[in-house]
Structure 1
Amino acid sequence: MSPRRSTARPRAVPAAHRRILAVLAVLALALTGLTSLAAPAIAAAKLTATFSSEGSGTSWTGKFVVKNSGDTAVDTWSLEFDLPEGVTISDHTHGTAEVKGRHVVVTPAYYNARVPAGRDTEPYSYTFRGSGQLKPPTGCLINGDKCDGTAAVPPKAPTGLSVADATARTVSLKWTAAAQGDFPVASYEVLRGTTVVAASASTQATVRDLQPATAYQFSVRAKDTRGNTGEAGAPVTATTVDPATDTVPPTAPRNLRSTEVTSSTVKLAWDAATDNQRVAAYDVYRGTTLVESLPADTLTSTVTGLSPATEYSFTVKARDAADNASPASNALSLTTKDPVGQDGYAKVGYFVQWGIYGRQYFVRDLETSGAAAKLDVINYAFANIDPKNLTCLNGVTKGTTQNPQDPNQGDGAGDAEADYGRAFPAGQSVDGVADDGWGKLRGNFNQLKKLKAKHPNLKVVVSLGGWTYSKYFSDVAKTDESRKKFVKSCIDMYIKGNLPAYNGAGGDGVAAGIFDGFDLDWEWPGSPDGHPGNHWSTDDKANNTALIAEFRKQLDALGGSHRLLTAFTPADAKKINDGWDLKEVFKHLDFGNVQGYDFHGAGSDNSWEPNRTGHQANLYKDAQSPYPTDFSIDDAVKVYTDQGIKPRKLTIGFPFYGRGWQQVADGGAHGEWQSANGAAPGQFQEEAGTRGYDNLVAAFPNLTVYHDEQSISTYGYTGANGQWWSFDDAWSIEKKTQYIKSKGLLGGMIWEMSGDTSNNVLFNALDRGLR
């Protein structure tokens, strides 16, 4: 029997919550004036927004009425405008506003977000109190279009286009900035005929891959922030250099060096090369791959998109105008830094979405216990996969079924109420301020946002899948198209923060900045040993690699700060072989959280190992184990390092819960490896055989605890024919942290934070051990 993931999972949504949601849905329908018979959509919607005011002087009321003059209902809208100099606004009604300087972005209330065809938002139009001399706002946009409904005026044509430089295969152009139309100019496109051959955010660009000694004609046009494209300006003709005019290459650049190394970037600098005529460019190589070409006056480069804790070699070559390449500079070998836990060890902790119910464990508890200040990464568990659309799923509140053997147990399940719908009172809020019940962002997500504000170095990632939600991973990973679609949907939802509407919450961008990446919890690719009903295929191994690569590609394409990409990876060598091409996968992962628990257990439905006890999180193998196949943390780590995975790309898992059996014989070994009669009663009725550590020690204050020095395991026994529990305590955690240090591993991962005591007995032991 292979090790399994903890079967703790989201619980069904309480009936009271469902009733509240139904009442709110009816109220929303009534307020928007919907009728039961809607006309068929025959044309696109068209929104306008009209401003009016009441009052005068320096105290007045402003209002925007949003109207839909099209034939299709609009489900939501976003209004933005600029305030006149000296004007401030407050007392917003029928909408919420984010004010940055003079720019205002308004999102509707849940009851006036939908505008039916031919209707407007009256009598629930967005209203505010204005202070300062009354003047109408400017730059008004509704869903990104002009509020008066007129077409946007594009930018003017750029002028002054000229040739700044030419080599055998490139032409560099420069021009005078274009005058804007209705919106600011964002970028420029260089055209050869009607084909776009280069793009730039500045007033210069280089066209590459041209033929030597050839004349070309180019023109330039501007694009604004809304994507409107202006007319091209007057063209210019340029001729590339004839290589026959110069056959002498430049000298090699000298003194290639690094000025900064991070987990994903390297800054390089070098001394200039020389040439008999002139140096035209520098080419930066990572190994044999060209990563960047730079103009001759640039002697620095920042290489991005690198993997953490990975060694790279860099060189630089110079090129002259005739495209002669110099010899390579000195080779510079560098190792990128760890993604988290710099100059120390990483602490990664899972926070479970459903912990706010029976466990009564809130994001606030991470703060008040002091854990948040010591954690490096929080894994928010779990996000599901839409079984029909094969995209990231949110916006639903549907519990899982109670039968753990139900092959459809997690289909369509999710808890938007916990994620961003619930309004937490002050006593359950990170900063002691209650959620606004009508805000667009509430629930755990808003609390995580507050937690990150208090701890700027803390990273939060969303974990996709888990034991119950891994059913459709094989489907989303199957083709290039399905991978791109799935990854894009996850980035849109969790990185860009575009949450589906739910009970007045959600909307575009409302969750932006909360999540710093993804943790992939596919259990298990290429294996039939996952949850009953999981889809799997022998192609999963290759598709898993391709899916992880697609996540890395799309995350890096966002630009800005590096986003984390991690995975929960198996301890079972067979599962690794069946589903994980380790050398390829770890090119894209920041690190892997190696399963360090669930090596033995009865299972909540006695479907696993109900008839014999066993250690669930042993560091080393136990020679006394009667199981034909046994597992250990040390054996698991060796599988990874033997395949060349650097230790600093690995954490090991720590269980903050115990697994237990009942009616266990003593056997002269205090129940260790002895016969049993199924799972012991659990912390929750539906989770037999499992108790959080805090619940375990509270339920059995007289539990006799034993420490197995051979396997580094902790277990407790209640007596003859009693209960036997396998768990981690401060002793075993101390031993395992010594192992982490001795092996040079990145750190430890915790499943999951709510299992600890109120004074963090387990987490503090981990923190002490990893200092």
Structure 2
Amino acid sequence: MRRLLGAAIAITTVLAGAAAAPAAAGASAHRDGFVRVGYFTQWGIYGRAFPVKKLDTSGAASRLTHINYAFGNVSEDGRCYVDGGPGEGDAWADYQRPVPAEESVDGVADTWGEPLNGNFGQLQKLKAKHKNLKVLISLGGWSWSTYFSNAALTDASRKRFVASCIDLYLKGNLPNPDGGAGGPGSLAGVFDGIDLDWEWPGSNGEPGNVVRPEDKRNFTKLLAEFRAQLDALGKKSRKHYELTAFVPAAPATIDAGFEVKKIFKYLDFATVQGYDFHGTWELRANQQSALRVPAGAPDNPDFSVDSTIQAWIDRGAPRKELVLGVPYFGRGWTGVTGGRNGLFGSATGPAPATFEAGSEDYKNLKTLPSGGFTVHRDLRAGHAWLWDGTTFWTYDDPAVVLQKTLYIRTRGLGGAMMWSLDGDDDNATLTRTIHFALR
């Protein structure tokens, strides 16, 4: 791996320096403070067999500054809640499931009736082992952003919503309906802040989401309320509670939902969508996360990491508070004809995959070159893809990830975010690569 990284450094230093703007004046001082934020998915413990313990055994936990837990839900009446109902949550995974010894961070099995079991209990153990690691609860996501607009609508609704989130996740007052895990204060100390993943204020996300024109200004007001209540809590506990947000790539979505010059007054940083630029909702094989728009791209304008970051900077976002999102998954098409080694070719549909057609984890994609696929690269555009003559996968491998970390340094950005940690291999290769360049 060091040979690959050394070669990639020599190549990408030239490319990143040639195409990127100079770093901000304060970037060198900020360089020692890069954040490395990984999302841990609630559901990863099931089919992906990715318990919290793997963050420790793979070496990922010691190379991260933050873990964002995905996700917390928002109710129709605008409050944070934990519910085991179908589609509403998984309290069993979150904090009720007794974790067996072989999946436990400290090798000790949970027992029924302890205050905190499940993923939350394991995160508590992980933090005890990795003292500098911060854990944030991420609210919303694609599926659970339905009622954010209701929660943010009025001053009263914002106050109630924020208070409910703090009570549940920071004060730790979990429900205890059956005498098992949970109860007053059971979760206290596990979470160090709150990440807002509202997809998207003022714009359509998942069908059925409540969207209002006033979401844009209400998002700013919601951040202000979170900051005020978090600071009040922190004053009592002598702790700074972090507030972050996941923000979009599309300029139209930015303009519809974000008062860019105002929101960073309240945020510690924002993680920026650096992926899903293209996918199988289109019948053309394309890049999903390129640093720059590839030559010959059929869409004009098109999406890229650089154009996304520049869109935020142009609207007033501070560079050092922009954290670039890096995908630990790829997008794939099949029935591909034409194009340049498949790139920009016409497709018949999504490629078969392990869990979801058209989307596959890095740990599985990295094995495809031994099964008839060839790796292709566009070093200037900063992306890679796999192609076997019919099926096309766009993905980030260690060389592409390294290019992105050098871009982060060159542009004076705040660090890297990874969606999601269960897509990496058992050696945390992608996370190690990010840590190698951003430490």
Q: Same fold (TM over 0.5)?
A: yes
1:373 aligns with 2:62: yes
Question: Could you tell me which residue of structure 1 aligns to residue 106 of structure 2?
Answer: 431
| Separation of aligned partners in 1, 2:96 and 2:314 | 46
Give the partner amino acid of 1:600: H
| Separation of aligned partners in 1, 2:49 and 2:156 | 41
1:760 aligns with 2:436: no
Give the partner amino acid of 2:302: D
Select 1:345's aligned residue among 30, 34, 40: 34
Structure 1 SS opposite 2:194: strand
Cα 1:342–1:437 change in 2 (3 A) is: farther
1:415 aligns with 2:90: yes
Structure 1 SS opposite 2:160: helix
| Separation of aligned partners in 2, 1:553 and 1:744 | 28
Question: Could you tell me which residue of structure 1 aligns to residue 290 of structure 2?
Answer: 618
Preserved contact between residue 63 and residue 432 of structure 2 (Cα < 8 Å) = no
Deviations 1:296-341 (A, max 9, x none): xxxxxxxxxxxxxxx9xxxxxxxxxxxxxxxxxxxxxxx9x99xx8
Question: Could you tell me which residue of structure 2 aligns to residue 670 of structure 1?
Answer: 341
**Larger % of strand: which?**
1
Structure 1 SS opposite 2:334: strand
1:383 aligns with 2:55: no
What displacement does 1:636 show?
A: 1.2
Root mean square deviation, CA, Å: 1.9
Give the partner amino acid of 1:392: C
Question: Could you tell me which residue of structure 1 aligns to residue 182 of structure 2?
Answer: 506
Question: Could you tell me which residue of structure 1 aligns to residue 196 of structure 2?
Answer: 520
Deviations 1:322-381 (A, max 9, x none): xxxxxxxxxxxxx9x99xx87242110000000000000010000011111110000000
Structure 2 SS opposite 1:351: strand
Preserved contact between residue 494 and residue 512 of structure 1 (Cα < 8 Å) = yes
What displacement does 1:427 show?
A: 0.6
Select 1:736's aligned residue among 388, 394, 404: 404
| Separation of aligned partners in 2, 1:452 and 1:368 | 14
Q: How does 1:121-160 map to 2 (within 5 A)?
A: none
Q: How does 1:129-528 map to 2 (within 5 A)?
A: 343-387=32-76, 389-394=77-82, 396-400=83-87, 413-503=88-178, 504-528=180-204
What displacement does 1:642 show?
A: 2.1
Give the partner amino acid of 1:634: D
Select 1:679's aligned residue among 344, 350, 369: 350
Structure 2 SS opposite 1:715: strand
Preserved contact between residue 660 and residue 725 of structure 1 (Cα < 8 Å) = yes
Preserved contact between residue 596 and residue 633 of structure 1 (Cα < 8 Å) = yes
Preserved contact between residue 421 and residue 502 of structure 1 (Cα < 8 Å) = no
Question: Could you tell me which residue of structure 1 aligns to residue 268 of structure 2?
Answer: 590
What displacement does 1:762 show?
A: 1.2
Give the partner amino acid of 1:709: L
Give the partner amino acid of 2:360: R
Question: Could you tell me which residue of structure 1 aligns to residue 11 of structure 2?
Answer: none
**Larger % of helix: which?**
2
Preserved contact between residue 383 and residue 395 of structure 2 (Cα < 8 Å) = yes
Q: Tell me which of the two structures has the higher relative contact order, counting C-alpha pairs closer than 8 angstroms and 6 or more residues apart.
A: 2
What displacement does 1:502 show?
A: 4.2
Question: Could you tell me which residue of structure 2 aligns to residue 716 of structure 1?
Answer: 386
Preserved contact between residue 369 and residue 375 of structure 2 (Cα < 8 Å) = no
Gaps of 5+ in 2: 1-24
What displacement does 1:681 show?
A: 1.2
Structure 2 SS opposite 1:546: helix
State the structure with more CA Rg. Answer: 1
Question: Could you tell me which residue of structure 1 aligns to residue 239 of structure 2?
Answer: 561
Question: Could you tell me which residue of structure 1 aligns to residue 413 of structure 2?
Answer: 745
Preserved contact between residue 416 and residue 502 of structure 1 (Cα < 8 Å) = no
| Separation of aligned partners in 2, 1:666 and 1:700 | 21
| Separation of aligned partners in 2, 1:769 and 1:449 | 28
| Separation of aligned partners in 1, 2:32 and 2:346 | 46
Give the partner amino acid of 2:357: A
Taking structure 1 as the reference length, the TM-score comes to 0.52
Gaps of 5+ in 1: 1-310, 312-334, 401-412, 603-607
Q: How does 1:699-710 map to 2 (within 5 A)?
A: 701-702=370-371, 703-710=373-380
Structure 2 SS opposite 1:499: coil
Could you tell which deviates more after superposition, 447-456 or 618-627?
Answer: 618-627
What displacement does 1:480 show?
A: 0.5
Aligned length: 411
Structure 1 SS opposite 2:349: coil
